[in-house]
């Protein structure tokens, strides 16, 4: 037997591994939130979620006015594992593994196109999983001249559009019934709307919000789970939990009695599950709510239904907080 170290190529088969990227547990709402994360990191001030659910070939797009990408940057962004999670990142960078765009998109669709305009030059890159299955190659297609209804009228100097087609995970199996398919996709979009209004509420609040989020042209209003603007809301003193990489800020909040809130505000704050089930721990990273009560089945429900706690990893401490999302 040779005593010399030998090597063998263990490059993953593209057709197998890329299908595995579809099964990371994303729902439509969490997939859309991951795409909006990227828009925020790109300094977008307006994000439009557009959907055509009634056509023969339904599609969903997320379009933003962020800084855009060059062809080189776009190709890099389309590469699975494009960023090392150990790399130093800006404190307001919501990404970590370089998989979000791809895995979030593949969880909903077999065809992902990203169009970007940067310094008056545009390019579109596309993953088509059906083509990958045929070629078994880690290869995307590039188009300089790309048209799609999602980018019509987008005339800014920089525009990025993430477009999902072949929505096989969203059509409910109704490939031959346009009405049933549209109803299924619209129901998922309605649920996603509630989620997005909650997780990005800090970006959407105030007279001059950092982010305006639209769904098919309709401006979405934020949902603050703590009703912080209500004078009857009770706040405990904030506390800091020191971790190895920084601090986590913790604060407990008690919501007002329902008679001190409008019915709309009360219902929206409680969400579809009601106030008893929406109590618990809300974790924020860079002002993005990344964990809510829905992730905490281990919490007792025999609590004050108006009691909430929020935590905010500060600075580099976010890497020391491990979440199951």
pTM of the model: 0.86
Q: Which residue has the tokens 């346009």?
A: 178
| 58/181 Cα distance (integer angstroms) | 9
pLDDT of 88 > 90? The answer is no
- Give CA 37 to chain center in angstroms: 5
Q: pLDDT band at 324, cuts 50/70/90?
A: very low
Q: pLDDT band at 277, cuts 50/70/90?
A: confident
| Least confident span in 19-23, 60-64, 152-156 | 152-156
Please write the tens of the pLDDT for every residue from 42-84: 999 999 999 999 999 999 999 999 999 999 999 999 999 766 5
Mean pLDDT over 123-147 rounds to: 96
Strands (E) located in 41-173:
46-52, 59-64, 111-118, 121-128, 141-143, 159-165
| Least confident span in 64-73, 186-195, 306-315 | 306-315
Mean pLDDT over 273-296 rounds to: 80
Sequence-distant (≥ 6) Cβ neighbours of residue 170 within 8 angstroms: 28, 58, 60, 108, 109, 184, 185, 188
Please write the tens of the pLDDT for every residue from 209-222: 999 999 999 999 99
pLDDT of 314 > 60? The answer is no
Structural domains of the chain ordered from first start: 14-219 (3.30.565.10), 234-320 (no CATH)
């Amino acid at each position: 037997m040779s005593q010399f170290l030998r090597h063998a190529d263990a490059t993953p088969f593209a057709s197998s591994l890329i299908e595995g990227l579809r099964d990371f547990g994303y729902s439509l709402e969490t997939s859309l939130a991951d795409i909006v994360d990227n828009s925020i990191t790109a300094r977008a001030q307006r994000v439009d979620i557009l959907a055509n659910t009634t056509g023969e070939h339904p599609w969903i797009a997320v379009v933003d006015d962020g800084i855009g990408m060059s062809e080189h940057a776009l190709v890099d962004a389309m590469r699975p594992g494009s960023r090392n999670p150990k790399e130093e990142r800006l404190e307001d960078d919501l990404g970590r593994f370089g998989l979000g765009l791809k895995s979030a998109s593949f969880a909903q669709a077999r065809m992902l196109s990203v169009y970007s305009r940067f310094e008056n030059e545009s390019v579109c890159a596309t993953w088509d999983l059906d083509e990958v299955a045929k070629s078994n190659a880690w290869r995307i297609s590039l188009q300089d001249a790309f048209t799609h209804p999602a980018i019509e009228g987008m005339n800014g100097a920089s525009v990025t559009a993430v477009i999902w087609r072949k929505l096989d995970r969203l059509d409910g199996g109704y490939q031959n019934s346009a009405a049933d398919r549209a109803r299924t996709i619209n129901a998922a979009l309605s649920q996603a709307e509630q989620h997005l209004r909650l997780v990005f509420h800090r970006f959407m609040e105030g007279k001059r919000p950092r982010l305006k989020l639209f769904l098919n042209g309709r401006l979405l209003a934020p949902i603050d789970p703590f009703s912080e603007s209500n004078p009857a809301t009770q706040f405990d003193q904030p506390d800091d939990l020191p971790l190895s990489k920084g601090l986590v800020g913790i604060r407990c909040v008690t919501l007002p009695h329902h008679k001190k809130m409008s019915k709309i505000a009360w219902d929206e704050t409680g969400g579809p599950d009601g106030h008893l089930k929406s109590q618990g721990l809300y974790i924020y990273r860079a002002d993005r709510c990344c964990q809510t009560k829905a992730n905490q089945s281990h919490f007792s429900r025999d609590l004050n239904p108006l009691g909430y706690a929020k935590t905010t990893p500060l600075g580099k401490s976010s890497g020391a907080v491990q979440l199951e999302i």
